[in-house]
Chain A
């Protein structure tokens, strides 16, 4: 059970990742800090967004700061509010990145950035049919997660809390149920604020954690990236180790025999 291979390997759609931590590429103070944070996190998969090229000026390419021989690119469909827009964006991402993987987002509400379940399921079905490896960002709803897996999603990525909120895992019981029922890997995506949040997600049994703001927005993103690496590993190991049951009252750790003065 505690075999280190179990601890380290995340397998999605037959592809093996050494790290269970997936990291974003947005909102870092600079591209070079992002690169250093990726290195410190130990990640081998990062998300990227698909956006119009600025044709009025030459800009530095994000890809100059990602070693794609070591790090797998996962294009997202962030800011898409309809299945059609998400499908279009996924197709563009495939052409730009030359892989058929997509982090599928169909957003239903601007303020919370909560997913639109209906659109998400529809887009998942279409993209799976087109040969995509679909990793949908979804609500922490076990029923929706089951439907997504049934529709052919290669993993499900329930949110821990709203994107960028840093609130931590708001509904641990749902994440646990999702994992118990899941037939595909479960990646907790969004809501992590600090290392203990990532550890909690892993202790609940999640197969991995995806985060962006928690690292990019930290005062020291590189140090936080390392903290997240350690937290994900610690959480995974604790899950595999099997925690003790919770009890209301104390159980002494030291022997009750041989106490002096008795």
Chain B
């Protein structure tokens, strides 16, 4: 199944939690924020929030800026 991840198509084998996606991508969950279909997912909800076919996911972090 395909989701949209940071604007690009991304294949996942089956619906998975935000935690599982971050783990697959080797991203440290403590340093990012995640949006699922334009709504922020709280860190406490990473295990229970499930990403499904067609979902739009944004994963952001802090970068240099003014």
A164 to B66, CA, bound (A): 9
Q: Mark B3-42, 1 if CB is under 8 A from A, else 0.
A: 0011100000000000000000111100111110010111
The reply to whether A53 and B26 contact each other, CB–CB distance below 8 Å, is no
Q: List 20 A-B contacts (CB under 8 A).
A: A24-B64, A25-B64, A48-B64, A48-B65, A49-B64, A50-B33, A50-B60, A53-B6, A53-B32, A53-B61, A55-B6, A58-B26, A75-B62, A88-B35, A88-B38, A94-B33, A95-B33, A95-B34, A95-B42, A213-B66
CB contacts (< 8 Å) of B62 on chain A: these are 48-51, 62-63, 73, 75, 93, 96-97
| Distance of A73 Cα from B59 Cα, bound (Å) | 19
A196 interface contact, C-beta 8 A: no
List chain A positions with a Cβ less than 8 A from chain B. 24-28, 34, 47-53, 55, 58, 61-63, 73, 75-76, 78, 88, 91-97, 163-164, 190, 210-213
Tell me whether A52 and B38 are in contact (CB under 8 A). no
In the complex, chain A residues whose CB is within 8 Å of the CB of B66: 24-27, 47, 49, 76, 78, 163-164, 190, 210-213
CB-CB under 8 A from B34, the residues of chain A are 95
A61 and B31 contact, CB distance less than 8 A: yes
How many interface residues does B have (CB within 8 Å)?
26
Kindly state the separation between the CA atoms of A176 and B51 in the bound complex, as whole angstroms.
52
Instruction: Give A28 to B64 CA distance when docked, in angstroms.
Output: 8
A51–B38 CB distance below 8 A: no
B32 touches A96 (CB 8 A): yes
Nearest chain A CB to B37 CB, angstrom units = 12
Within 8 Å by CB of A61, from B5, B59, B60, B61, lies B61
Whole-angstrom distance between the Cβ of A236 and the nearest chain B Cβ: 22
Give me the 10 closest cross-chain CB pairs, A-B, nearest first: A49-B65, A212-B66, A24-B66, A96-B33, A95-B33, A26-B64, A48-B62, A25-B64, A92-B33, A52-B6
Known A49-B66, A53-B32, A211-B66; further 4 A-B contacts with Cβ < 8 A? A51-B61, A51-B62, A53-B59, A94-B33
Q: In the bound complex, what is the Cα–Cα distance between A24 and B64 (angstroms)?
A: 7
**Neighbouring B residues of A94 by C-beta, 8 Å:** 33, 40
Complex formed: what's the CA distance from A48 to B61 in Å? 10
Nearest opposing residue in chain A for B34, CB measure:
A95
- B 48-66 contacts with A by CB, 8 A: 58-66
Q: What residues on B are CB-neighbors of A24 within 8 Å?
A: 64-66
CB distance from A7 to the nearest CB of B (A): 25
A123 to B41 CA separation, bound complex (whole angstroms): 21
- Partner pick for A51 among B5, B40, B63, CB 8 A cutoff: B63
